[in-house]
């Protein structure tokens, strides 16, 4: 197990300390729960709510700060993206890191390109934004932000730079899962997505990819500080 890590429990536990119903990290829960097919929300019938749910998640997760082009957009800007999300087969939400077949990897890369085409223009950076959208809506890939990238570039030094969503980076994430399966599965099976109305656990568990995201993000954050 070349990529086995001994600090997964520590990093996930520390992340969870800042993940109460009113903490910003919980914005993932409310976004993922909203878009998950089992909640039967009418994404197009309530498209304003859909745009607001995605938009606030992105704002809460740092995508509307600094020089972000999204600062100059209203939530209606997300409407074409919501229509694309609503057009996808519900089986997309079944994809997770343990299901990274070649077909599913191609599907993830295709969805990435389509979201990039819809939401990003004029040469704006897209890696962090698009992967955060994909994490918050589908849960099948970690967000490739700086903290996650620094963590995983260190783990896969000389092998993958995690600067694009492609076969190589997804294969590396899959191998990381295989080498740390026991810990990742443990947390994926016992951490539940919170419901907005009550703040209580829903019947939907965190994806394995989300656990990997929590690990990579929090370890990168701790290394910076």
At residue 1, the pLDDT reads 80
Residue 85 falls within a domain, yes or no?
A: yes
Residue 75 falls within a domain, yes or no?
A: yes
Strands (E), the chain: 192-194, 201-205
Share of the chain above pLDDT 70, in %: 100
Residue 177 falls within a domain, yes or no?
A: yes
Looking at the 3D structure of the chain, how many domains does it have?
1
Residue 76 falls within a domain, yes or no?
A: yes
Q: What single-letter DSSP state applies at residue 97?
A: G
Residue 127 is part of which domain span?
8-224
Please check whether residue 15 is in contact with residue 206, taking contact to mean a CB–CB distance below 8 angstroms: no
Nearest to 140 by CA among 210, 225, 59: 210
What is the spatial distance between Cα 136 and Cα 206, in angstroms, rounded to a whole number?
Answer: 11
Report the pLDDT averaged over residues 198-219: 97
What is the spatial distance between Cα 79 and Cα 85, in angstroms, rounded to a whole number?
Answer: 10
Residue 43 falls within a domain, yes or no?
A: yes
Report the pLDDT averaged over residues 74-99: 98
Residue 3 falls within a domain, yes or no?
A: no
Residue 132, pLDDT above cutoff 70: yes
Residue 2 falls within a domain, yes or no?
A: no
Q: What is the pLDDT of residues 58-81, one digit of tens each?
A: 999 989 887 789 999 999 999 999
Residue 199 falls within a domain, yes or no?
A: yes
Split at pLDDT 50, 70, 90, the class of 225 is low
Q: What is the pLDDT of residues 27-66, one digit of tens each?
A: 999 999 999 999 889 999 999 999 999 999 999 998 988 7
Split at pLDDT 50, 70, 90, the class of 223 is confident
Q: Which residues of 15-42 are buried (b: 16+ CB within 10 A; e: fewer)?
A: beeebeeeeebbbbbbbbbbbbeeeebe
At residue 105, the pLDDT reads 99
At residue 123, the pLDDT reads 74
């Amino acid at each position: 197990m070349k990529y086995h890590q001994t600090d997964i429990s520590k990093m996930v536990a520390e992340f969870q300390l800042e993940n109460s119903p009113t903490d910003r990290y919980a914005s993932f829960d409310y976004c993922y729960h909203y878009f998950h097919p089992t909640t039967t929300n009418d994404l197009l019938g309530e498209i304003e709510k859909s745009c607001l749910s995605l938009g606030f998640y992105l704002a809460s997760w740092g995508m509307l700060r600094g020089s972000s082009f999204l600062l100059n957009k209203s939530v209606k800007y997300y409407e074409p993206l919501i229509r694309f999300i609503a057009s996808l087969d519900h089986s997309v939400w079944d994809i997770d890191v343990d299901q990274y077949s070649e077909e599913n990897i191609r599907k993830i890369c295709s969805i990435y390109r389509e979201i990039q085409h819809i939401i990003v223009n004029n040469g704006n950076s897209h890696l962090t934004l698009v992967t955060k959208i994909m994490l918050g809506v589908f849960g099948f890939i970690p967000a490739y932000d700086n903290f996650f990238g620094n963590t995983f570039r260190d783990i896969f030094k000389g092998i993958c730079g995690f600067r694009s969503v492609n076969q190589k980076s997804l294969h590396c994430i899959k191998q990381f899962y295989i080498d740390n399966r026991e810990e990742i599965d443990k947390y994926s099976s016992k951490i539940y997505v919170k419901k907005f109305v009550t703040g209580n656990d829903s019947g939907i568990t965190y994806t394995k990819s989300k656990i990997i995201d929590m690990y990579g993000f929090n370890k990168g954050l701790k290394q910076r500080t």
